[in-house]
Amino acid sequence: MTAKKKLPIGVQSFRKIRQADYYYVDKTVFVLSLIEEGSYYFLSRPRRFGKSLLIDTFKELFSGSRELFAGLYAEARWDWSAVYPVLAFSFAGGVPGSVEALQQSLIAQLSQYEQQYSLQVPFSEINIRFKALVRQAHEQTGRRVVVLVDEYDKPILDRIEDREEALRLREVLRDFYSVIKDSDAHVRFAFLTGVSKFSKAGIFSGLNNLRDLTVEAPYSAICGYTEKDLETVFSPELEGVDREAVRQWYDGYRWLGENVYNPFDILLFFAKRTFGNYWFESGTPTFLVKLLLERGTFTPKLGETIASEMLLSTFDVDTMPVEALLFQTGYLTVDRVEEIAGSRFFHLRYPNREVYQSLNVILTGAFLGDAGRESQLRLGLVRLLQAADFRGLERHFQALFAAIPHDWHRRNAIGEYEGYYASVFYSHFAALGLDIRVEDTTSQDRVDMAVLFEGRVFLFEFKVVEAEPEGKALAQLLAKSYADKYLDRGDPVYLIGVEFSRRDCGVCGFEVQEAAP
């Protein structure tokens, strides 16, 4: 058996990984392919997906660090006699919180390279200094410059809720990045990474010659680990591991090509040998959740989102479609693509159990305005379902909706409709990671929600009534014969009609009947 190596948790230095006996998944086949194909690239991937390590790999390759590539794909295929001047900029570490702080960060990074090449810079403006640096580095070394930018968008994203400051930050970065295009005669290669792809009218307006690799199938696995990577590179870590459970928890990210695992999750799973929401907990998406609630998003259908290719690329400080934000930040991924009349439409889904369950935990907590209360209710729901305690379930859901701030539904765009109540209901169940089918098609119609749990099937129908219970929800379950589709499973099937009072903003009717075989 192959000996175990160190797990590179949080290690973003290619040199450190290669010199200190860490596991490394060889990505140099992608690196060489891109260098051969073109000069200017952009790649969007979620946080903690290996973007910084990829940037550092490019840096070491162009710097001629041959010893680090021993045994890798690139070793015998790269001209090591050619050493290029590399200018690598990063915003992955400390985050500038203002325009002034961003400018100081850029000046510090420029100064480092000006000193390295002993350059005289008579200019004070940042973009002019950058342009002079690129030109002079080319002239001094005789080789065109390589420009690498890691997390190009982080300063803006970290202040996205402060519109005015975000716009000011965007202008500084747009002027800075435009130098790359303006210096084409002096640039050999440029590669930018980030989480979000700002629209061409925004930060990319000054740098519109980038080739976007985000949804190019051949480069789907440029970051992340494939199934083959686990079987080969990480084979020493797989002994005694439930591979199917690992797939359900951490696999499933896809950008048109091969599926990949979340590397941050896999490494922590191997270290701790237990399943956890490692990636999700490393950065709670408070802004995203706030946006979902403000826009009254129907949460049961998040995992079945459809968006045009143009919409997924429509993102800026003033324009943030929920679909684009969910996709770019990694909470939804590509399921399949449909081409209609020359346009591509992306069918998006949750990548895996971790994201599906964790996002709904946060959403339920946001509905309640109390994360601690959400945890208590979630534990109580499991026990009630296991016991099939329907009177307890009725009290449970009355308590759930009573815990929601009284004016929440009035402020929410879907508050006056069944969609609001269904969203709360669904997210509460999904927070358990249960098998849930929303608007599942039967021979008669679509049942609002089906929950399959430990050998039982729970079918829910939701209705909003004016004040007092009217029995409409259970009546529809019976009239439409929703249970027929599930009776063939041989499991008990329970029909549960839930009615919500528009007047009292809570559960007013809760009827249960077991379906006859």
For residue range 473-501, list pLDDT tens digits in order.
899 988 888 888 888 888 899 999 999 88
Contact (CB, 8 A) for 338 and 305: no
pLDDT above 70 for 353:
yes
Tell me what the mean pLDDT of segment 333-340 comes to: 94
The predicted structure's pLDDT at residue 94: 63
What pLDDT does 410 receive? 52
Q: Is residue 56 part of a domain?
A: yes
Q: Quickly list DSSP for 387-422.
A: HT-HHHHHHHHHHHHHTS-TTHHHHSTTTTSHHHHH
Residue 78 pLDDT > 70: yes
> What pLDDT band is residue 402 in, cutting at 50, 70 and 90?
confident
Whether 380 is covered by a domain: the verdict is yes
How far CA 369 is from CA of 19, 132, 148, 362, 428, in Å, comes to: 48, 52, 42, 10, 13
Q: How many helices (H) and strands (E) does the chain have?
A: 21, 13
pLDDT of residue 201: 59
| Domain hosting residue 199, numbered range | 26-219
pLDDT of residue 291: 87
pLDDT of 243 above 80: yes
Candidates 87, 115, 64; CA nearest to 189 is 87
Range 78-83 contact pairs with CB under 8 angstroms and sequence separation of 24 or more: 78/32, 82/143, 83/141, 83/143
Nearest Cα to Cα of residue 264 among 94, 57, 95, 47 = 47
Is the pLDDT at 412 greater than 80? The verdict is no
**Secondary structure (3-state) at 277:** coil
**Residue carrying the six token digits 């009349």:** 341
CATH number at 458 reads: 3.40.1350
Q: By the 8 A CB rule, do 363 and 301 touch?
A: no
**Cα-based distances in Å from 387 to 49, 101, 382, 481:** 41, 57, 9, 25
What per-residue confidence (pLDDT) applies to 423?
Answer: 85
Residue 148, phi then psi, degrees to nearest 5: -125, 135
Confidence of residue 376 (pLDDT cuts 50, 70, 90): confident
Q: Write down the pLDDT at residue 1.
A: 59
> Are the CB atoms for 119 and 137 separated by under 8 Å?
yes
What is residue 35's predicted lDDT score, i.e. its pLDDT? 97
In a domain, 411, yes or no: yes
Q: How confident is the model at residue 440 (pLDDT cuts 50, 70, 90)?
A: low
pLDDT in tens, 448-466: 889 999 999 999 998 888 8
Last residue of a domain, one of 187, 219, 251: 219
Residue 440: how many CB atoms within 10 A of its CB? Answer: 15
Q: Is residue 293 part of a domain?
A: no
Q: What CATH number did the domain enclosing 80 receive?
A: 3.40.50
Query: How confident is residue 306, by pLDDT bands cut at 50, 70 and 90?
Result: very high
Report the pLDDT value the prediction gives residue 413, as an integer from 0 to 100.
45
Closest alpha carbon to 204 in 184, 175, 166, 162: 175
Instruction: List all residues 6 or more positions away from 106 whose beta carbon is below 8 Å from its beta carbon.
Output: 89, 126, 130, 172, 176
| pLDDT at site 27 | 98
Tell whether 61 is covered by a domain: yes
Task: Decide if pLDDT at 323 tops 70.
Answer: yes
Look at residue 96 and tell me whether its pLDDT is greater than 70.
no
Residue 273 lies in a domain: no
The total of structural domains in the chain comes to 2
Which residues, in sequence order, are bridge partners of residue 211? Answer: 41
Residue 289 lies in a domain: no
pLDDT in the model for residue 445? 63
- Domain termination residue (choose one: 153, 185, 219): 219
Section 145-160 average pLDDT: 92
pLDDT confidence band for 415 (50 / 70 / 90): very low
Is a pLDDT exceeding 80 seen at residue 397?
yes
Instruction: Indicate the residue type of 323.
Output: E
Is pLDDT at 310 greater than 50 in this prediction? yes
Whether 99 maps to a domain, the answer reads yes
Strands of 211-312, DSSP E? 211-212, 305-308
Torsion angle of C-alpha atoms 279, 280, 285, 290, degrees rounded to 10: 160
| Final residue of a structural domain among 184, 219, 254 | 219
Instruction: Return mean pLDDT, the chain.
Output: 89
Q: Which residues contact 128 (CB under 8 A, 6 or more apart)?
A: none
Q: Could you report the per-residue pLDDT of 13-48, keeping only the tens digit for each?
A: 999 999 999 999 999 999 999 999 989 999 999 999
User: Edge-to-edge, what's the strand order for the sheet holding 305-308?
Assistant: 305-308, 343-349, 333-340
Q: DSSP alpha helices (H): ranges in 63-193?
A: 99-116, 126-141, 154-157, 163-182
Quick one: DSSP state of residue 1? -
Between 439 and 166, the more confident residue is 166
- What confidence tens digit (pLDDT) does each residue in 43-77 have? 999 999 999 999 999 999 999 999 999 999 999 99
